[in-house]
Amino acid sequence: MLSYRHAYHAGNHGDILKHSVLALLLEALRQKDAPFCYVETHAGVGRYDLRAPEAQKTDEWRNGISRLWHEPTVPEQAAPYLAAARELNPDGKLHYYPGSPRIARHFLREHDRMVLCELHSSDLPLLKQEFAGDHQVAVHHQDGYQGLKAFLPPKEKRGLVLIDPSYEVKAEFDQVTTALGHAYARWPTGMYALWYPILNRPSVERLQRRLRESGMRKILLAELCIEPDDGPAGMHGSGMVLINPPWQLDTQLKTLLPWLHQCLDSAGRGRWNVEWLVRE
The residue ranges that bind ligand SAM (CB under 6 A) are: 2, 4, 6, 15, 18, 41-44, 99-100, 117-120, 123, 143-144, 164-166
User: Taking the CA of residue 165 as centre, how many other CA atoms within 13 Å lie in the half-sphere pointing to its CB?
Assistant: 18
What are the residues whose beta carbons fall under 8 Å from the beta carbon of 145, sequence distance 6 or more? 41, 175, 179
- Strand ranges, E, within the chain: 37-40, 47-49, 96-98, 113-117, 137-140, 159-163, 191-198, 219-225, 237-243, 271-278
Q: Which of 143, 164, 230, 250 is an active site residue?
A: 164
Least distance in angstroms from the C-beta of 86 to ligand SAM: 17
Nearer to ligand SAM, 163 or 274 (CB): 163
Q: How far apart are CA 274 and CA 265, in angstroms?
A: 17
User: Are the C-beta atoms of residues 160 and 190 closer than 8 Å to each other?
Assistant: yes
Least distance in angstroms from the C-beta of 110 to ligand SAM: 23
Own/partner long-range contacts of 80-88 (Cβ < 8 Å, ≥24 apart)? 80/23, 80/24, 80/26, 80/27, 80/107, 81/19, 81/20, 81/22, 81/23, 81/24, 84/19, 84/23, 85/19, 88/47
Nearer to ligand SAM, 154 or 165 (CB): 165
Nearer to ligand SAM, 141 or 254 (CB): 141
Least distance in angstroms from the C-beta of 2 to ligand SAM: 5
Residue with smallest beta-carbon separation from ligand SAM:
99
Least distance in angstroms from the C-beta of 163 to ligand SAM: 9
Least distance in angstroms from the C-beta of 73 to ligand SAM: 26
Asked if 15 is an active-site residue, the reply is no
User: Are the C-beta atoms of residues 22 and 103 closer than 8 Å to each other?
Assistant: yes
Q: Crossing angle of helices 123-130/100-107, nearest 10°? A: 20
Nearer to ligand SAM, 127 or 243 (CB): 127
Least distance in angstroms from the C-beta of 237 to ligand SAM: 15
Q: How far apart are CA 29 and CA 23, in angstroms?
A: 10
Q: Work out the angle at residue 164's Cα, subtended by the Cα atoms of residues 163 and 169, and round it to the nearest 5 degrees.
A: 115
Nearer to ligand SAM, 111 or 182 (CB): 182
Nearer to ligand SAM, 182 or 269 (CB): 182
- Report the catalytic residues: 164
